[in-house]
Structure 1
């Protein structure tokens, strides 16, 4: 684990309630994590970037015009996160905002997914979120801070061929809901962010995935839109500023909450039809990690064969 410290004058938004506070973002090397640290730095926050890709993390940190700490750490390693939390407090001060954003995904049939890979997705997305909370809650308690769990519309209705990702995101949502009630008396707020189609490298091969391709095709035009990480980061930053219980990216997702009981039926019906009509090559292919960040994480821990 390596720490990189920078100290440039903040280009803060005048009057921002976030100005001068410390934000910790996991999975900050790319995608939504990278976009969010840029957006929060524009609010004048001091930023702690945590992630697996040391060189990429350092490049992002060096480009921010605020005081930063860059720490290479695996969110599945509690001891590493505990050390990271100590370093953040020593160098920047206690965290006021912590965003559990680190996540990976694998696409493919459950029976064609290596057991260790399936478990890794759950460990990063769910256990990693709990580890992050455990490491930083003492600081958030002292600052009356805000913990944001990045979830997904995958928690609304599980898609076949994405069993590990959907299970982990549903679990992460449930974890955050339970945590919210426990830490509220301590003055800590917990928010959950629901992300829809977001233009990161995780969905770069979306059109090659039979079920995701079908689900997107059956959505209304406005729901098919892929939003940029920068746009999603704007929505997240607004929610963080207001200590929102729920953040929807895009905002129209809030109207889907009352419909959640019907989503598993709809998703299941579309998926069954697609799987019946799918090619043998697609359905029999080995499951694979989606996106460069996920591949980097998996290659760093992949069991030797």
Structure 2
């Protein structure tokens, strides 16, 4: 198994305040880094009928202002992993996606520092960063179950249930469709 967890985040800034170089750097680490990790592991994953967990974010499912570069990168990781899941369906390799909220790490603290008052005003657990241990446990349990989705904090699973709607249904149908299976089998 492999966990593709490439991720950086710049301090919060609007798109107008973000430079092209900052945007490219973030995509290079967060998206291209995941690609390189998965690509290097593919021969071993297919040989062993393994499992890959790509770490996205809640920001890979919903828009968040002032971190558009990060949001774009995590949407890309989500799309990459979903496509990879279809490609590897006939190879016996399972692909999971980790969706984490704000985890209590230095990266998250720095990134949300100038909007900390907004976060603090959020109701219930939304405004509190989750302990790092929650993310670690979610990863370990997700690997053990070969889960298609992993969430931390755990309450996100229910809160995000309908975010993919028709896309999630399409993915489940496509994964089983004979034409899709033939397409990905032909690439071997």
Q: CA RMSD in A?
A: 1.8
More strand by share: 1
Q: Give 2:4's aligned residue.
A: 100
Deviations 1:20-79 (A, max 9, x none): xxxxxxxxxxxxxxxxxxxxxxxxxxxxxxxxxxxxxxxxxxxxxxxxxxxxxxxxxxxx
1:223 counterpart (122, 126, 132): 126
5 Å matches for 1:131-210?
A: 131-205=36-110, 208-210=113-115
Q: Is the 8 A contact 2:9 2:111 kept in 1?
A: no
Taking structure 1 as the reference length, what is the TM-score of the superposition?
A: 0.50
Shift in CA distance, 220/121, structure 1 to aligned 2, threshold 3 Å: same
Q: Equivalents in 2 of 1:164, 1:123: separation in Å? A: 11
Corresponding pairs, count: 163
Partners of 2:56 and 2:98 within 8 A in 1:
yes
Out of 16, 19, 28, the residue aligned to residue 114 of structure 1 is: 19
The structure whose residues are more often helix, as a share, is 2
CA distance, structure 1, for counterparts of residue 39 and residue 81 of structure 2: 12
Contact 1:207 1:213 in 2 (8 A): no
Whether the aligned pair in 1 keeps the contact of 2:103 and 2:130 (CA below 8 Å) is yes
Residues 1:241 and 2:147 aligned together? no
Distance 2:2 2:111 in 1: 29
Q: Which runs of 5+ in 1 are unaligned?
A: 1-96, 262-305
Q: Is the 8 A contact 1:206 1:213 kept in 2?
A: no
Query: Does the 8 A contact of 2:96 with 2:147 survive in 1?
Result: yes
Cα drift, residue 194 of structure 1: 0.6
> What corresponds to 2:172 in structure 1?
none
> SS in structure 1 opposite 2:88?
helix
Local SS of the residue matching 1:192: strand
| CA 1:157–1:209: 2 relative to 1, 3 Å | farther
Q: Is the 8 A contact 2:6 2:31 kept in 1?
A: no
Partners of 2:163 and 2:81 in 1: CA distance? 18
1:260 deviates by 2.8
The 1:207/1:186 distance shift into structure 2, 3 A limit, reads: closer
Q: Which residue of 1 aligns with 2:157?
A: 254
Q: How many Å separate the matches in 2 of 1:239 and 1:178?
A: 19
The runs of 5 or more residues in structure 2 that have no matched partner are 165-188
| Whole-Å separation in 1 of the counterparts to 2:117 and 2:58 | 15
Taking a change above 3 Å as real, the CA distance of residues 213 and 180 of structure 1, as seen in their structure-2 partners, is farther
What residue number does 1:88 align with? none
